[in-house]
Structure 1
């Protein structure tokens, strides 16, 4: 879906990431390929979708730049309410059935899905109150699950070797883990963790179940992690080949719109 606004040819795209732990916004001026606005809000604790919407409404009252006209909007939902399904087994009429074993589904929940590549469907629950809010504000727009964007971005990377690549995208207290081998998606899931030991356990357990040798596979880190992170230091003791995601976008930034660490906003920027 593409945004339809009364004003055309503004050359501006707004990217929004919504989770129960925080919000991120950025605006790209496509005329000069420059990100001209960036705003990130972390919540002190996890909220419910009703309180998240209240935070969004407050931001639009406070942030003048958020009220500037744009001609395209991309909204990402970052939550654990998803299930990946092989496309040849996917039945749109029974989409809710793929979620019932790992997600509590209410009768009022709306079920959405994203097609990923040629053979995978991500079935998920968006927050309907939040999609309705943005529809009222912008009209028709595109929304997707953040994991869909993440997987597609990794699948689109050049295949340099046959070595399995494990991508670990870190947020506060949880991460997504995606395994790509020979240009194909092998595994994707998210894990909550409280300690650096938990962080390492889920990574090594997934590698073991996927028959990956810590001496051989490549671990690529991105998101809310750096070389000073305790999680990085612990992983370094057990995994031989660790690196951080390299340059991933062609944009420049207005001085006031530059995030402290670009990799921590990988999904937001990738959706532009």
Structure 2
């Protein structure tokens, strides 16, 4: 566990690990990755020279927070942490984990239609207090269209106005991570499942090509298994044909893992991206839990 003398703790992190040699002089040579959703705020620092993760902080909250409540916690964390408050990061990459996203193939993408894409995905217009963003997803020849609360966006852009800042939807690092991981396994078809509390994201790949990406809500483990089995049946894939990699809020002794093991004989807990290096202090972090955060660095690397 690392402690920073530059931190005034108002919100206690769930996890804080890092290299004590990291200081303000290192910031211009590093990328700050941030993951934000309605239940958590996470940060990691990657030293660009050797693509090494040297710091991680995780703030998780028991209840679902409103965008305004998350915004207030963001401000407290940043203003209480002098290192995070620097404008001098080489890059800042922010992944937003929200329900509003849509993957659009490059050949049909029209930037003037982004609001319509999200309206179709949500079943209703994008709220007026959200800003619509989009970015190209390498490897899959598609754009990811998503929305972010305007108050988050404007504050982050102003806060890091001297850094190269990029916004992603969390599904983009999950897709890139799944496809890169697929190349490391001798499997034709892989299902990568990223677990959160009450939600999971499924990325199906075949021969290292994206077949499907979708996010589902569930309340019971039996429902989780049913949704996953039904999704694969719609693709004409059999459970025994699939290698299933589990990431996020799951462990080998969890109820969700036990339930899925009844149907998927080739089931395992994944790991953090092997493309990154990890400092001694960060080496013991359960990489599968921070799969999305770590791959936020790799989307554009």
Contact 2:33-2:43 at 8 Å conserved across structures:
yes
Alignment equivalent of 1:243, drawn from 268, 283, 289? 268
Q: Call closer, same or farther: CA 1:115–1:41 in 2, change over 3 Å.
A: same
Residue 194 (structure 2) aligns with? 169
Residue 190 (structure 1) aligns with? 215
Q: Call closer, same or farther: CA 1:58–1:107 in 2, change over 3 Å.
A: closer
Residue 83 (structure 2) aligns with? 65
**Offset, 1:174:** 1.0
**Offset, 1:206:** 0.7
Residue 122 (structure 1) aligns with? 144
TM-score by length of 1: 0.88
- Structure 2, unmatched stretches of 5+, are 1-24
Residue 133 (structure 2) aligns with? 112
Aligned pairs, number: 265
Q: Determine the C-alpha separation between the residues in 2 that align with 1:233 and 1:176.
A: 18
* Of 234-243 and 58-67, the range deviating more from structure 2: 58-67
Give the 3-state SS of the residue equivalent to 1:59 in structure 2. Answer: helix
Residue 16 (structure 2) aligns with? none
Q: Determine the C-alpha separation between the residues in 1 that align with 2:128 and 2:85.
A: 34
Contact 1:37-1:65 at 8 Å conserved across structures:
no
Q: Call closer, same or farther: CA 1:258–1:137 in 2, change over 3 Å.
A: farther
- Residue 154 (str. 1) matches residue 178 (str. 2): yes
Contact 2:53-2:277 at 8 Å conserved across structures:
yes
Give the 3-state SS of the residue equivalent to 2:31 in structure 1. Answer: strand
Residue 97 (structure 1) aligns with? 116
Contact 2:232-2:238 at 8 Å conserved across structures:
yes
The alignment yields a C-alpha RMSD, in angstroms, of 2.3
TM-score by length of 2: 0.80
Contact 1:159-1:183 at 8 Å conserved across structures:
no
* Of 182-191 and 33-42, the range deviating more from structure 2: 33-42
- Structure 1, unmatched stretches of 5+, are 1-6
Q: Call closer, same or farther: CA 1:234–1:51 in 2, change over 3 Å.
A: same
**Offset, 1:80:** 1.1
- Residue 39 (str. 1) matches residue 35 (str. 2): no
Contact 2:29-2:48 at 8 Å conserved across structures:
yes
Contact 2:202-2:213 at 8 Å conserved across structures:
yes
Q: Determine the C-alpha separation between the residues in 2 that align with 1:127 and 1:227.
A: 35
**Offset, 1:154:** 2.3
Give the 3-state SS of the residue equivalent to 1:151 in structure 2. Answer: helix
Q: Call closer, same or farther: CA 1:205–1:107 in 2, change over 3 Å.
A: same
Residue 99 (structure 2) aligns with? 80
Q: Call closer, same or farther: CA 1:151–1:91 in 2, change over 3 Å.
A: same
